[in-house]
C-alpha cells in the first residue's frame, strides 16, 4: 500500500534540498559581498548571514533527518489494524474527520499515511 513512499530520498526531496542549499549559498554570497563592500550596515550583513545559516541548516536537516518521521509514520501505519480504521471511520462525520481521528489516536502517524489507510479501507469495504 505504501510502495510510493519506499524511497527515503526521492526526487522531490532532492529538489527541495538543492533549492534550499542554493538559496543558502546565495544568501552567504550576498552577505560576503556586503561585508567586503564596506557600504552596508552591520544589520544588513547579519540578516543575510542569518538567512544563509537558516537555509543551509534547513537543507541539512531535511537531507539527514527528513526520512525519520516518514519511516516512523510508515511503521505506525503498518501496525494499525483494520478494526481501528473502521472505528475511526464509524465515529467520524466524513473523510477529513476520519483522517484526523486516525492521527489523533495514533501519534506520529503522518497525514499521507492516515489518508492512505482511509482510502484503502474505503475501497475494500464499499
C-alpha 90/C-alpha 87 separation (Å) is 5
Average pLDDT of the residues in 42-46: 92
Torsion 14-17-19-22 (CA) sign:
negative
Residues near 80 by beta carbon (within 8 Å), at least 6 away in sequence: 102, 106, 109, 117
Per-residue pLDDT for 4 more than 80?
A: no
Q: Where are the domains of the chain?
A: 1-67, 80-126
**What global pTM score does this model have?**
0.57
Say how many residues make up the chain. Answer: 126
| Per-residue confidence (pLDDT) for residue 40, from 0 to 100 | 85
Q: State the Cα–Cα distance between residues 81 and 98, nearest whole angstrom.
A: 15
Amino acid at each position: 500500500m505504501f510502495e510510493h513512499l519506499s524511497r527515503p530520498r526521492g526526487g522531490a526531496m532532492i529538489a527541495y534540498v538543492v533549492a534550499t542549499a542554493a538559496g543558502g549559498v546565495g544568501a552567504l554570497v550576498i552577505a560576503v559581498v556586503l561585508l567586503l563592500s564596506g557600504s552596508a550596515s552591520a544589520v544588513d550583513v547579519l540578516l543575510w548571514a542569518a538567512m544563509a545559516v537558516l537555509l543551509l541548516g534547513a537543507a541539512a536537516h531535511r537531507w539527514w533527518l527528513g526520512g525519520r518521521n516518514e519511516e516512523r509514520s510508515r511503521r505506525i501505519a503498518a501496525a494499525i489494524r483494520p478494526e481501528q480504521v473502521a472505528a475511526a471511520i464509524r465515529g467520524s462525520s466524513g473523510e477529513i474527520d476520519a483522517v484526523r481521528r486516525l492521527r489523533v489516536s495514533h501519534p506520529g502517524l503522518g497525514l499521507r499515511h492516515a489518508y492512505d489507510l482511509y482510502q484503502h479501507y474505503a475501497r475494500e469495504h464499499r
